Structure 1
Amino acid sequence: MDDSDKPLPPDELGRRLTEVYDLVGPLYRRAQRSVEQGSAAEGLSVGVRAVLALLHRHGPLTVPQMGRAQAISRQFVQRMVNDAAEHGLVESAPNPAHRRSPLIRLTGEGRAAITAVLDREHALLREVGGGLTAAEVAACVRVLGAMLEGLDHVADD
């Protein structure tokens, strides 16, 4: 094992992960602008898009589950769910595990809308290039996941 394969000491790890944060902010903002522009055709805000994508990926969820998954407030998720419901994109379903917290699920219209958005995003991301390998992408996902998990203790806004 050469030095590049050894875990970094905490101080060096902190410095290197700061480099990742410095890239994640602009990346997030550019992606958000792209989502906003692309979602405009479906009339989806970034928040509604996030709710629809969660439901598409995980199936029916409660509002608190969605808030935890996205590290955002339950109140914000509820507003996005209400907006999506007003547009016929999601609906409530009984939750056998908790009477007062219904499951939220996609409607057919919601499934079609998020599929169109995800297809457009996929086409855009196909153009990233850079000769990235499966191992590099897996390492990136692992690093970002570890950073997210490492900050689980930080209170939500």
Structure 2
Amino acid sequence: MSDKTGRGSVSADVADRLSEVFDLVGPLYRRAYVRVERDVAAEGLSVGVRAVLSMLHGRGPMTVPQMGRFQALSRQFVQRMVNDAAARGLVETAPNPAHKRSSLIRLTEEGRTVIGAVLDRERATLRGVDGDLTEDDIDTCLRVLSGLLAVMDD
């Protein structure tokens, strides 16, 4: 793959195969969205609030702008999701030593419990994936998708 720094490039045949990846990513995203939307309803969450909780669970306290950049979402959308999560007692603000006006958002104990239950259910579903996959397969998939994401960051 090639990026803005000019590192590497792929052949036309590999580019054609990467098109096959794109052809799968769209339907996968849409199906996953519908599945997550249905599953998080058990917790009374929206997909957006679930995304905020999951991000904080995996990355620790973050500011709203950081979350927006990480997910390529508008700050305003993320702020609405944070407000929804805060209204349910799932997140709280904390002082940000790096920036007085941009508080850190962190999970509450209830937020950790809720996202833990959601992630446990999602992992149970993912255990249904073909058992022939290896760690190397997953590493390769992550490397390819990360490379595609980087190319799209222009």
Using the size of structure 1 for normalisation, the TM-score is 0.89
| 1:29 corresponding residue in structure 2 | 30
| 2:10 corresponding residue in structure 1 | 8
Q: Say yes or no: does 1:49 pair with 2:59.
A: no
The one-letter amino acid of 1:20's match is V
Q: Say yes or no: does 1:19 pair with 2:20.
A: yes
Unpaired segments ≥5 residues, structure 2: 1-8
Kindly, what percent of the aligned residue pairs are identical?
A: 65
Separation in 2, partners of 1:151, 1:22: 15
2:42 is paired with a residue of what secondary structure? coil
Q: Per-residue displacement from partner, 1:25-69 (whole Å, max 9, x unpaired)?
A: 111111111111110111111100000000000110000110111
Superposition deviation, residue 20 in structure 1? 0.5
| 2:113 corresponding residue in structure 1 | 112
Separation in 2, partners of 1:87, 1:63: 17
Separation in 1, partners of 2:107, 2:135: 31
| 2:39 corresponding residue in structure 1 | 38
Q: Per-residue displacement from partner, 1:59-110 (whole Å, max 9, x unpaired)?
A: 1000011011111111110110011111111011111110110000001111
Superposition deviation, residue 15 in structure 1? 2.0
Superposition deviation, residue 130 in structure 1? 4.9
- In the TM superposition, structure 1's runs of 4+ consecutive aligned residues that sit over 3 Å from their partners are none
RMSD: 1.2
Superposition deviation, residue 12 in structure 1? 2.9
1:120 is paired with a residue of what secondary structure? helix
Using the size of structure 2 for normalisation, the TM-score is 0.91
Separation in 2, partners of 1:63, 1:20: 31
Q: Say yes or no: does 1:142 pair with 2:143.
A: yes
| 1:4 corresponding residue in structure 2 | none
| 2:124 corresponding residue in structure 1 | 123
| 1:102 corresponding residue in structure 2 | 103
Q: Per-residue displacement from partner, 1:130-154 (whole Å, max 9, x unpaired)?
A: 511111111001000011111111x
Separation in 2, partners of 1:37, 1:80: 17
Separation in 1, partners of 2:131, 2:141: 14
Q: How many residues align?
A: 146
The one-letter amino acid of 1:108's match is E
Unpaired segments ≥5 residues, structure 1: 1-6
